[in-house]
Amino acid sequence: MSTGMISIIIPTFNACNLLVLAVDSVLKQTWKDFELIIVNDGSTDKTEDLVKKYLPGGSDYDSRVKYIKADRNKGKTAALNKGIRAAQGTYLMFLDQDDTLPSESLRIGVEFLMSHSTVVAIYGDALKIDISGKPFGIRKSKQVGSLSDIAGFYRNPIASSSMIMRKQVIDKVGSLDESFFRIDDVWRNINVFLCGRIEYIPSVLLNYRIYRRSAILKYRLRTIYEFYILLNRYFTIYEKYTLLLKQMTFQMIKLTFELFSFYK
């Protein structure tokens, strides 16, 4: 195992056209020591047909691309767990199917971790892009210093798909909790934070695609429910009710905003 090798895991479900853009952005990285694990979470579209071009015999074959197909759809976190079990890298990155990476992302993150042995994970800023890939601003992350920084946000202080972690940290955390659908990244960020120092790098490490989706109310209600479960696990009685009230307020504000704007 190379000390600089990173495993990028992309869980995907019925988003074949956006998936290809995500895959191509990884293959164009200046840091070449990686494996790309695509986990097809039971897609019913043309995902498998499009992925085949990167596999043996395909027109864009690349030996670093691995492909795992689930029998049925179980959700993003279950797909990530499949990818983690197959990962061989020293480092890990979880890339959403609809996002892409700037060409220097892996180099910046891996080199930082290689030169800072006490840091268990890094994350950075994100360039906001629309459905066509057109940029329209920067989503700034923030340095977090406590669990409440991670769980008590209006806007997530960590652009989670920009995070690069040491594989040994995720091995220590164990299987990702598949009961979380909306705030799986918050659960993961808390558990990585509990393992050691995570560091914000003020560089754009992710292209974050923002576009309108359906079922807004259902998503926001599910988010509040999942925050209730998460806060019960990691916070004192006073903290959890304070943070829950804050999150309920934030989620309703977001819902109002989303009705008249783009969101993700």
Structure tokens at 263: 């969101």
The verdict on 42 and 123 lying in the same domain is: yes
Same-domain pairing of 37 and 19: yes
In the structure encoding, which two tokens stand for residue 213, read together? 């989706």
Residue 106 domain flag? yes
Instruction: For residue 264, tell me if it sits in a domain.
Output: no
Query: Do 199 and 236 share a domain, yes or no?
Result: no
* 80 and 192 assigned to the same domain: yes
Residue 101 gets which letter from DSSP?
-
- Are residues 189 and 245 both part of a single domain? no
Number of domains in the chain: 2
Is residue 127 situated within a structural domain? yes
Assess whether 124 and 234 both reside in one domain.
no
Q: How far apart are CA 204 and CA 202, in angstroms?
A: 7
Question: Are residues 99 and 146 both part of a single domain?
Answer: yes
Do 139 and 236 have their domain in common?
no
Tens digit of pLDDT at every position of the chain (264 positions): 457 999 999 999 999 999 999 999 999 999 999 999 999 999 999 999 999 999 999 999 999 999 999 989 999 999 999 999 999 999 999 999 999 999 999 999 999 999 999 999 999 999 999 988 999 999 999 999 999 999 988 778 999 999 999 999 999 999 999 999 999 999 999 999 999 999 999 999 999 998 866 678 888 899 999 999 999 999 999 999 999 999 999 888 888 877 776 555
The answer as to whether 92 is a domain residue is yes
- If asked whether residues 233 and 204 sit together in one domain, one would say no
Question: How far is the C-alpha of 109 from the C-alpha of 31, rounded, in Å?
Answer: 10
1 lies in some domain: no
Tokens of 81: 């767990």
Residues 41 and 99 in one domain: yes
Mind spelling out the 3-state secondary structure of 45-100? Answer: CCHHHHHHHHCCCCCCCCCCEEEEECCCCCCHHHHHHHHHHHCCCCEEEECCCCCE
Among candidate residues 209, 224, 248, the one where a domain is terminated: 209
- Residue-range definition of the domain harbouring residue 65: 6-209
**pTM of the model as a whole:** 0.93
